[in-house]
């Protein structure tokens, strides 16, 4: 009887160990799933892949725009500060326009499978993207005229060296000079005068794009609900 009871006890212990191992395996699988589903933070090193991530990226770029105070202080007396401002805004607008290219990837759907009303929402979103890009390009083009004026190549120095055999060797040195200094000065003055407005144009355009994406996602969600209700067999 004792031997039989001992066998039962051993069998019970084995079952307990197996159950514990199974429990541990389940926990491990759960952790693995949680790691797979971990939220990817969008940023400079992590491009967006969904509309909410694109919106988050735009908000990050808005936060990097120079302040009103810094923008208002731009003057011809501090050209290096003006150029720093221009380079900062140029980088932001470039990143912004690049970010907008992910919209088509994020909401791709084969066109014949897309219901007509959702196609209208997508068309409105595309139109807004085109308008937004055009508005930021107004600022980018002006910045380009300040940072990269038209240049000419001119002869700076000519050197003649006579070798022992009597042959003369000529060396020419060229330098790049601004083609139209007066136009560059005018572009700088115009930037100082319009900097506050152009900064606000960039901020407003980017904020409007975030709002437009919100409206698009709401329209898509509403259309999906209407489509489900339309084909429902419930009475």
* pLDDT category of residue 150 using cuts at 50, 70 and 90: confident
Is 30 a residue whose pLDDT tops 80?
no
| Non-local CB neighbours of 227 within 8 Å, separated by 6+ positions | 115
pLDDT at 168: 87
Is 178 a residue whose pLDDT tops 60?
yes
Burial 217-226 (b: 16+ CB within 10 A, else e): bebbeebeee
Which of residues 82 and 26 earns the better pLDDT score?
82
* pLDDT category of residue 106 using cuts at 50, 70 and 90: confident
- Does this model's pTM top 0.75? My answer is no
* pLDDT category of residue 88 using cuts at 50, 70 and 90: very high
Q: Express each pLDDT in 206-235 by its tens digit.
A: 999 999 999 999 988 876 655 544 333 332
| Alpha-carbon distance values, 10 to 5, 23, 24, 80, 213 (Å) | 9, 20, 21, 83, 64
* pLDDT category of residue 71 using cuts at 50, 70 and 90: very high
- Rounded distance, CA 189 to CA 182, Å? 11
Token pair belonging to 225: 């609900």
pLDDT at 90: 97
Q: Express each pLDDT in 107-149 by its tens digit.
A: 877 666 665 555 678 888 999 999 999 999 999 999 999 999 9
């Amino acid at each position: 009887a004792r031997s039989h009871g001992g066998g039962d006890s051993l069998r019970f212990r084995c079952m307990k160990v197996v159950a514990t191992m199974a429990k541990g395996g389940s926990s491990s699988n759960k952790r693995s799933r949680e790691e797979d589903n971990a939220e990817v933070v969008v940023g400079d090193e992590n491009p967006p892949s969904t509309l909410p991530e694109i919106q988050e990226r735009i908000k990050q770029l808005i936060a990097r725009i120079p302040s009103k105070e810094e923008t208002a202080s731009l003057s011809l007396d501090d050209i290096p500060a003006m150029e720093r401002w221009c380079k900062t805004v140029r980088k932001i607008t470039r990143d912004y326009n690049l970010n907008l290219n992910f919209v088509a990837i994020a909401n791709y759907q084969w066109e014949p499978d897309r219901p007509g009303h959702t196609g209208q929402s997508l068309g409105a979103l595309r139109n807004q993207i085109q308008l937004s890009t055009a508005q930021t390009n107004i600022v980018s083009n002006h910045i380009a005229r300040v940072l990269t004026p038209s240049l000419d190549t001119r002869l700076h120095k000519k050197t003649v060296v006579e070798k022992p055999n009597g042959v003369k060797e000529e060396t020419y040195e060229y330098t790049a000079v601004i083609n139209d200094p007066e136009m560059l000065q005018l572009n700088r003055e115009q930037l100082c005068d319009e900097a506050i407005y152009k900064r606000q144009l960039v901020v407003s355009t980017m904020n409007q794009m975030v709002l437009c994406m919100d409206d698009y996602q709401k329209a898509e969600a509403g259309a999906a609900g209407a489509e489900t209700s339309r084909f429902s067999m419930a009475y």
